[in-house]
Each structure stands twice: as structure tokens, then as C-alpha cells.
Amino acid sequence: MSINTSIPLAAEAASVGAVKPQFPFLDLKAQYETIRSEVLAAVETVMESQHFILGPEVDRLEQEIAGFTGAKFAVACASGSDALLLALMALGVGSDDEVITTPFTFGATAGAIARSGARPVFVDIETTGFNLDAEALEEAVTPKTKAIIPVHLFGLVAEMDAIMAVAARCGAAVVEDAAQSLGASYKGQQAGTLGTAGCFSFFPSKNLGGCGDGGLVTTDRSDLAHLLRALRVHGATQKYQYQMLGINSRLDALQAAILRVKLPNLKRWTDARRQNARRYVRLFQDYDLLEMVQLPVEAEDCTHVYNQFSIRAKKRDALRRHLQSHGVPTEIYYPAPLHLQPAYTYLGHREGDFPKAEAACRDVLALPIYPELSPDQLETVVSAIADFYAATDGRGE
């Protein structure tokens, strides 16, 4: 039996019917057209150099990301998943340790913990949003707690003051899963610079995405940066000299060159996403839908970058079918919490252990939010949602 692991990016990833969408869930082609000549020139420069792995382009990207985030050090690697694993490895996380995180996240978060040899310990999400509930965090701490991984889900930074306070009391490192939140801020500080280390992804669908996989770790600790640079090249600090066991996780120069073209545009793209989010909020208010859906939250002292615009919707599945039948693309991030996934049955969890995360999986629905969406397209989405609830009076079927 073969398994198809391809991931469609410029259209809805999981179609629920046969009607062609009026516009994509994510339109990477529209973004590319605005920077096409610069991207091709950057690719040609790398091809002329024939330097394809790490090297000057990666060095420059690391410096530019460090400058963008305000971190002292940035270490690029092959993926966001590897960024998490490398951070845990550099912190010495191993088989006798526990690492706390949320069950409502992409599989790489807990996967990195398990692959490090540590035990994932889940804490439920908070009620008003989708991030780890900092108030419940302390109850999960044990003498084995080595690290905490808050996930800044969908582009909103978790409650880091409370998380850092718990970490300080128990002596745990804090590794920020900032894969979806480059450019997000919390009380004036950038995501990825609030904890011990910050982990980013350059997967193509991210707000800063490459043309393949890529990742990066930020930190203010020179010792961690030194370890990360060795760990990503099999543990070598000199060629063919292995001081520790590492992995092969090097960023390609082509990816770095493309990301360097995109990075100066990130603020403009983020501003456009935030403008689209504000338009969504006004439209949901104008269509009198706030009893049917719960909109994303954003504190005054935080900046949400809306990698996704995820709502909680009554009768989510019926609504999604209705939207698909009208050519409106949507996605579900995430359809099942990690504690109920087969890969984590060894942890012994069952349904009901983390009810808020489980409820989010039943209710959450992501709407198109990419920068190039027009106001008319946004209204098409909300108008179709309004039609559904008007026809069903909120009952769904």
C-alpha cells in the first residue's frame, strides 16, 4: 500500500465536495507574481555560485531574521519540525524528562518531544482562544519537567508572562513554537524572543514561506547557538570532528535566497492580513453573526499576524459543506487533538481529558485570510455564512 504525502498549497488542502472554489484558500501564485523577477534573480545567483547548502545566503538570512525579531542569534535548519527537535536537543532534553505543551497544535510540536526521548505532557487550551491555558500550567509541572513548549497558534502569542513565571519557579526552559507567528508580538516583544529559544517554520503556507521546507531557531544564549550550529551538522564543530550526536538539518541556500527576497515584504503582507481580519470582524458584525460564531481574539498589547483566521462556528461541519457548495474554500486546523491521535496512545489519554481542545476540534473553521484577497471576496465568505445560518436558524441540517 502506498501513502500519498503530497500537500496541495495553492488550493484548499482537503476538499469536501466537487464544486470548484471561487478563489483559493491560499493563493501563493498571487504573491509570487509581485516578486517574480527578484526571486528568479536570487535563484540565478545561487545557481551561479553552485553553493547549495548553508553558506553565505544562509548566514545573511540568519542575520536578517535575528535583526527582524530582535534576537541575538538565529540558526537556520531544514524545517520547523527540526527547529523544535534541535532546540530540545541543545537543552539536553532526554529520556528521563517531561515537556509540557498543548494538545491543540500541529503534530510536530509533540512529535519533537517524543523524538527527543522525553514524555509529552499536555495542558488544555484557554477558553477564549486557542493557546495553552497558562492558569492550568502549574498543575502539570512535576520534578521531571525539563521544558515547556507554548504554541503561538494561528499567529497569536500565548500568555507568556504567566508561562515564564511558572517556568522560572520550576526551573524549566521555554521553547516557543512560533512556526505560525513570525512578526507577532507580545507587549512589544517579538514572538520567538520571549523564552529560552524560539522555533520558526518556512513551510510554503507560512506568512514567510519558502519554496519547500525550512526552519530556524532564535535565542539570546550564545551557548545554545553554538550547540545548535553543531547539532544541525551531525554534531560537528569542525569538519569530520564530531563532539556530540547530531542530525542532518541544514537549510538550502536556494531557500535562504528566496526567503531573503520575501522578508522585506513581510510587514506589508502582515498589515494586509490584519486589515483583512478587521474587515472580517466588521462583516460579521454587519451580518449579525456574533451569536453564531466566535471570532479570533487579540489583546491590545499583542499583535496577531493571522497565519490563519480561525473562527468557532456552530454546526461547523454543516456550515463547511454549505460553504463548499457555494465555492467558498475553508480548512480545519485541527480536526483531532494530539492526545487522541494513534501516535500518542502510549500516553494513556482518553476522550474528555482535555475538553477545551476537543471542543475546538469540533468547532474550529479557518477562513481565507491571505493578503491578496479583495474586500468583495471577504464579503462573499461572510455572506455565504450568513445565508447558512439564516436558512437553518443556527440548527445546521
For residue 204, the domain's CATH number is 3.40.640.10
Does 257 lie in the same domain as 333? no
Helix, strand or coil, per DSSP, at residue 365: strand
Q: Would you state the pLDDT for residue 299? A: 85
Does 196 lie in the same domain as 73? yes
**pLDDT digits 0-9 by tens, 271-281:** 999 999 999 99
Q: Assess whether pLDDT exceeds 70 at residue 301.
A: yes
| Residue 20 in domain | no
Mean pLDDT, rounded, for 137-150: 97
As a whole number of angstroms, the distance between CA 356 and CA 124 comes to 6
| Residue 10 in domain | no
Does 260 lie in the same domain as 119? yes
- pLDDT band, residue 11 (cuts 50/70/90): very low
Cβ pair 194, 220 in contact under 8 A: no
Mean pLDDT, rounded, for 370-389: 97
Q: Would you state the pLDDT for residue 330? A: 97
Does 233 lie in the same domain as 354? no
CA distances from 254 to 64, 162, 373 (A): 16, 39, 28
Does 143 lie in the same domain as 97? yes
- pLDDT band, residue 18 (cuts 50/70/90): low
Beta bridge partners of 174: 148
Q: Between 151 and 237, where is the model more confident?
A: 151
Q: How many CA atoms lie within 13 A of 45 on its CB side?
A: 16
- pLDDT band, residue 12 (cuts 50/70/90): very low
Q: Where are the beta strands (DSSP E) in the chain?
A: 73-77, 98-101, 119-122, 145-148, 173-177, 185-186, 189-190, 197-201, 215-219, 236-238, 241-242, 293-294, 302-303, 309-313, 364-367
Q: Assess whether pLDDT exceeds 90 at residue 155.
A: yes
Does 260 lie in the same domain as 270? no
Neighbour tally for 17: CB within 10 Å: 11
State which of 264, 283, 309 marks the end of a domain.
264
Does 198 lie in the same domain as 230? yes
| Residue 12 in domain | no
Q: How buried is 370 (Cβ within 10 angstroms: 0-12 exposed, 13-18 middle, 19+ buried)? A: buried
As a whole number of angstroms, the distance between CA 9 and CA 32 comes to 13
Q: Would you state the pLDDT for residue 206? A: 96
| Residue 13 in domain | no
Cβ pair 53, 250 in contact under 8 A: yes
Q: Assess whether pLDDT exceeds 60 at residue 166.
A: yes
Does 273 lie in the same domain as 257? no
Cβ pair 277, 374 in contact under 8 A: no
| Residue 298 in domain | yes
Q: Assess whether pLDDT exceeds 80 at residue 210.
A: yes
- pLDDT band, residue 172 (cuts 50/70/90): very high
Does 200 lie in the same domain as 292? no
Cell of 186: 507580545
What is the distance, to the nearest Å, from the Cα of residue 141 to the centroid of all Cα atoms in its chain? 25
Cell of 250: 541544514
Nearest to 46 by CA among 281, 254, 314: 254
Cβ pair 71, 121 in contact under 8 A: no
First to last CA, the chain: 37
Mean pLDDT, rounded, for 288-295: 96
| Residue 46 in domain | yes
**pLDDT digits 0-9 by tens, 62-90:** 999 999 999 999 999 999 999 999 999 99
Mean pLDDT, rounded, for 35-58: 95
Mean pLDDT lowest among 37-51, 157-171, 303-317, 382-396: 382-396
Q: Assess whether pLDDT exceeds 90 at residue 353.
A: yes
As a whole number of angstroms, the distance between CA 71 and CA 83 comes to 15
Does 203 lie in the same domain as 306? no
CA distances from 263 to 60, 83, 369 (A): 12, 19, 19
As a whole number of angstroms, the distance between CA 296 and CA 163 comes to 21
Does 387 lie in the same domain as 312? yes
* Domains in the chain, number: 2
As a whole number of angstroms, the distance between CA 367 and CA 291 comes to 18
| Residue 97 in domain | yes
Residue range of the domain that includes 386: 266-392
Does 318 lie in the same domain as 256? no
| Mean pLDDT for the chain overall | 93
Q: Between 390 and 6, where is the model more confident?
A: 390
Q: Assess whether pLDDT exceeds 80 at residue 217.
A: yes
When computed from its CA atoms, the radius of gyration of the chain, rounded to whole angstroms, is: 21
Q: In what order do the strands lie in the sheet with 215-219?
A: 73-77, 215-219, 197-201, 173-177, 145-148, 98-101, 119-122
State which of 217, 238, 264 marks the end of a domain.
264
Cell of 80: 520547523
Beta bridge partners of 293: 313
State which of 264, 287, 316 marks the end of a domain.
264
| Residue 360 in domain | yes
For residue 385, the domain's CATH number is 3.90.1150.10
